[in-house]
Chain A
Amino acid sequence: MAIQIDTGDQANVDRSPRGEAVISVKEQMQAWRNADLFFFPLISILIGGAAVFLCALTVGDWSYWMDWRDRRWWPLLTPLLLLALPAVATYAFWRYFKLPVAATGLALGFWLSQIVSRYVNFHVFTAFPMNWVMPEVWIGAAVVLDAVLLITRSFALTGLVGGMLFGLLFSAMNWPVVAPMHMPVQLGDTVMTLADYMGFQYIRTAMPEYVRIIEAGTLRTFGTHVAPVSAFVSGFFAILVYYVFVWIGSKGSRPSWLGKLV
């Protein structure tokens, strides 16, 4: 049975639909409001939580510890991994709802899951100082991605402009968070950042200093200005990541295979 829908004609609000689940259009509208209030936060937290898991499996240590957040690998890899699930969700939200909120919702859900995990698991249970395990923040970059989609109404242009901005903004947005940890400290005749100093002080039995993947690479011809170059490279790759995962979203959100499953 086809659902009879009121698409804005307020004169019909009291007309009973032919379905049995609701007895009036008014009630139907209330059910839809409830669906908004329930499903959007739920989807944001669920997919955001999944993104935390994905992040933990791929770029976990760069995200966990301040003494891993270097100028080369952290701004290069982390945005690429963070962009994957928002791109998938963006396709579904734009294709079926014309709503540019998927990346932002997911970034908010990610932030909530990440903060709870860091506070409870790292700070309360395992006693690491919160300033040393503070997660990255990328909600602003996600809003830009959504806003560019709304302005361009094109996945191709959003990938090109929004993807590049996503990679560029990640590094810039997070510098004020990590900057205090890059203040120099002298221990004996060794100078190190406060993050390195805390890495030495706050014992991680299975995390020796040498295991960090930091400052390694061949990017040596830009003097000390490595982070902006890494951010640009990340932006370029983010364009590709966005396209690939929007394509995956287009395949994954088709009702046809969902129908086969159900």
Chain B
Amino acid sequence: MKLSEAWRLSKTCYREMVYRSLAEERGRMWWGAFGRNRQGKESQDDLELTNRALRIAKFDKAIVAFFNVVVSLAPFASLFLGSPGFGLTSAISLSLAVTFGFTALYAIQTLSSFMSPESSALMSTMPLNRDEFSLITLFSFIRSFDYMVIGSIISQVMLVAYLTASPVATLIMFAASTVNALFAVAVALWFSRIFQRNMLRGGRSKANTVLRLLFILMWGLLLVAVGFLFSIPWYIVPNLQSTLLSAAHLWNSLLGLLYPFSTGIVITALVSNVTFITLLVASAAMVGYAFLAVFAGKWSLGMVRAVSQGAGVNITRVTAKDFSVNPRGQLLGYVAKDLKVASRNPATAFFFALPVLETVIIILLDSNIGTLRTALVLSGTSLGAIFALLLPLALLSAEGKGLEYTKTLPISSRRIVVPKALVSTATYVPVPIALATLSLFKPLTSPSSLFIPFLIVLPVASASIFEIKLFLRTAAKGKIASVFNDVEKLTVGVVVILVPEVAYVVGFLATFNHAFSLLAMSAVAFAEFAVAFFVLRRS
């Protein structure tokens, strides 16, 4: 089979993946699907929805690729701005690290549909041999993040070519960017496979639950690590460049062994002075990573081939020891179901890791500051609250077509909104606890500012309620939506979070009195909550 033919056919598999991903996991169309089952009309709608899903996927891919290019270029920007202590080595290393994290994250979102045997079910009925089948599946897999990988490789290579004017450095950067993408894809594949295997194994084993939680945590830590690396140059290590290139201490040279730094050091060595020992360590590490990339590439190909042959994940059955079930009442039953559904989907599970992310970010923000200023408390709080606002969308997306079944149960829409708002608000709770703990070690400029993160619990709950209600309203229309529709709902949530904080700031600027500002903030937060409560009551 010609490569062009395989590429053309892979569009069918890709379309199926996108359809599943958008329709089932992001759960848009099924909610409004009832009553649209008229013969003829249904198939027309399905075709329109599939095409729409494909257009949305293309649009989402372009947006994500654009964002990826921006974040991959951001570390280089500081070179032009003349940021002290920030050189080519750190720019290249951080650019690779951020692109790795971002590509892996995006690939995991897409892979949950790819890993299911159904994604290749259609192709498996066609008269194709195994190699052709694998090639088509591989291409359909590549299609899901092609813009993103190509975008970041081009941007990184072009910038390095411009900055170094060295063909060898440019070539090394091209190889490093490609290796980086390979690593990201391999990590995403591995992560999705572990998750899928864990989910499909079933059973009631506590070990499985612990393993799943561990992976969620690990995923959260991976995100934190990327964020951490990104913020190092500005907040933590202002002299990263000299640290990386200096051989004053052995451990400085050993930094060259770490994945993204080795590339940065080797490229820098081509245009400026680097100590021999550092260059040697980094070069050796780069060769090692190149071998590892070959292994990762082969493993990924094998994985893709296994998926294409329906052997991506083996299903093992666990014999039930009893048939007991434990009804918990509507609220607890719904919360338990939401937690199980969302935590078993790798595309949504990592949202549960956000509390860790929030807490770590707050600690990072604080690490170089002697006093906990109210401005820092306000910014840390809003950051945590905004992260918590991603959870309602994740919970609703994870619900997917299951919500259609829920509509046949005796449950009001209020009962659907409340558990999700509760879970979302609960993910925010580590933020005030982290800030309260920090205040034990660092003095506060105003003791009353400690109440701010606790008060923001109310706007987080209100914002969650508004978001979920808006989402359900869109869903009731039976539409599938692009990433912009999520942004629209998130914007409403962000405004609800920020208004009480703005009230605090305005109150303080008017009176220079923290107690009065807190009172103004409380009034606005309670007013918002009253409105949310009213909206909920009307459900």
A and B interact: no
